Structure 1
Amino acid sequence: MPDGTAPHSVSELRRDLAAAYRLIALEGMDDGIYTHISARLPDGPDGEKRFLLNPYGLRFDEVTAANLVTVDETGAVIDDPYGAGVNAAGFTIHSAVHMARHDAVCVLHTHTVAGVAVSSVKEGVLPLNQWSAQFFDRIAFHDYEGIALNLDERARIVADLGDRSVMLLRNHGTLLLGRSVAEAIKLAINLERSCKAQVAALSMGLTPVVLPDAVAEHTARQYEAAYDAMENDNNPDPEWAALLRRLETAAPDYLG
């Protein structure tokens, strides 16, 4: 049974990435065959950069550890067990972020209704609760430029992202970076909850209570300390272990 520690092998990384796809599907955060979650593999024997990506055309609930595709930084296929290739255009944002941010093992992009809604308002995520306080003053923004097929946009996305791990793509969705797949998934789930809670709270027509800056900042640092302990010290991650156990029941075929 997975214990929630960081992966130490390619097979464990493949397991974690397949789990991420299935968890996003179970949470209702997928968008048909669109958006991606990518993971950085160790460099190849000649130093080539390698990444794992979902096969083109599969729903997130069809992705398994065995059918993940290995691509280079351009999206060119290196290994394709499933045989459907990848959506190379959809990997352009991911490749740019991976190549600029070597701390990012996982890059996760979503188009959820709540995430798109909050990305479409000037204020973005408000510190209304414990979930959203995690992201206080830690979200980057990138203005919408159309469907992300323009390679020139990559440099602007990377510049806007800076050293942050969470970005709202204005009028588009969310982008999250994790030092592990587990961290990226936890950030994505908490951001989605934050967006859903914000949409719900503001829809009531009552007066929202916004947390004081000092309280929101304190809470964000508490989250960071907990995440750092797991990522930097390789402590067990009971939340990730619990999510993997969820898949053992809900989607046991995710390993392929």
Structure 2
Amino acid sequence: MATAIRNTQVSDAEWEARQQLAACYRVFDMLGWSEMIYNHITLKVPGEDGAFLINPFGLHFSEVTASNLVKIDIDGNKLDDSPFPVNLAGFTQHAVFHRNLPDAHCIMHTHTTAGMAVSSVEGGLRPTNFYACNFAGQIAYHDFEGVTVRAEEGARLIDNLGDKRVMFLKNHGILVMGRTLPEAFIKHWSLQRACEIQVATASMGTPLEVPPEVVAVHQRDLFKVQIPGGAGKADFDAMVRLVDKVDTNWRN
């Protein structure tokens, strides 16, 4: 495990962000959302305009710790002395959203089997299950243009996203963002569940679509089942407690 001692020049706010992001990588791995050494979760550094944290390219999600996350600016320049490189595909995609969307504090992109499957069918996610109804009318779609390493694709990503904060990269996977990391986490978890159930339902016959008027009521009433603390906080905290039962090394 490549882990460093906390740099004394790191602010308390940055260290807290590093620990939260490292925990998230471990939660994703525990949930089976790792993809070898690929995919990314990025988080803005509080109080530092244009700086964000990303996973070190070459490490598995299960190896990410608070101290080995890489701090980069919006142009991809390292802002710390990390010995690890940054995946160009991760930087190119995430940086364009961090640069253009002030509310995109945390961005998550994965290649889960269910997420890629739903992104690869005509019509994408359909309102055929509880979780899918959460997202009806709230998902953007972006056509596959190959691996995301060309800066010029950024303008089309922003245009296609519009005012949405959840996107299916067609033939590619899931992209979600949130004003906080827990908010992005609960979006990703719910979207992943929606995709898993849609894939399972497709093998059983003709899915039943929920009428738009019922979807509207469902979305209106979702807030009634949230507990205080902000969207996703209790959910994320519960998953971190499960990770801690296995390994607390991510905190270093």
Same fold (TM over 0.5): yes
Runs of 4+ in 1 over 6 A off after TM superposition: 225-229
Q: State the match for 1:209 in structure 2.
A: 208
Distance 1:138 1:63, change over 3 A: same
In 2: Cα distance, 1:147 partner to 1:224 partner: 37
- 1:69, 1:77 within 8 Å by CA — same for their partners in 2? yes
Secondary structure of the residue aligned to 1:196 is helix
Q: Counterparts of 2:90 and 2:144 in 1: how far apart (Å)?
A: 15
Answering whether residue 32 of structure 2 is matched by residue 17 of structure 1, we say no
Unpaired segments of 5 or more residues in structure 2? 1-11
SS at match of 1:9: helix
Identity of aligned residues (%): 39
Q: CA deviation at 1:43?
A: 4.4
1:110 paired with 2:115, answer: no
* Matched position secondary structure for 1:116: helix
Cα separation, 1, equivalents of 2:247 and 2:212: 41
1:93 equivalent in alignment to 2:97: no
Q: Could you say which residue in structure 1 is the equivalent of 2:36?
A: 32
Aligned pairs (5 A) from 1:1-256: 9-44=13-48, 49-81=50-82, 83-204=83-204, 206-223=205-222, 230-231=229-230, 237-256=233-252
TM-score normalised per structure 1: 0.88
Alpha-carbon offset, residue 225 of structure 1? 7.0
Q: Deviations over 1:218-256 (max 9, x none)?
A: 22233367679644xxx8932222112111113321112
User: What value does the CA root-mean-square deviation take over the aligned residues?
Assistant: 2.0
**1:39 aligned counterpart, secondary structure:** strand
Q: Is the 8 A contact 1:119 1:172 kept in 2?
A: yes
Deviations 1:108-137 (Å, cap 9, x if unpaired)?
A: 101111111100111111112211111111
Q: Offset at 1:75?
A: 1.4
Cα pair distance change 1:38/1:227, threshold 3 Å: farther
Residues 50 and 98, structure 2, Cα contact 8 Å, conserved in 1: no
Preserved CA contact (<8 Å) 2:44 2:105? yes
Equivalent pair of 1:247/1:254 in contact (CA under 8 Å): no
Q: Secondary structure at the match of 2:135?
A: coil
Q: Counterpart of 2:22 in structure 1: which amino acid?
A: A
Amino acid of the structure 2 residue aligned with 1:215: V
Give yes or no for contact 1:19–1:244 (8 Å, CA) kept in 2: yes
Work out the number of aligned pairs and report it.
241
Give the whole-Å Cα distance in 2 for the aligned partners of 1:108 and 1:74: 19
Deviations 1:181-208 (A, max 9, x none): 111111111111110100001112x232
1:69-123 deviations in Å (ceiling 9; x for gaps): 1000011111144x11211342111000011111111011011111111001111
- Deviation per CA, 1:26-80, whole angstroms, max 9, x where unpaired? 1111211111110011344xxx521001111001111011211100001111114
User: What's the TM-score, normalizing by structure 2?
Assistant: 0.89
Alpha-carbon distance, 1:170 to partner: 0.5
Structure 2 Cα separation of the partners of residues 85 and 227 of structure 1: 39
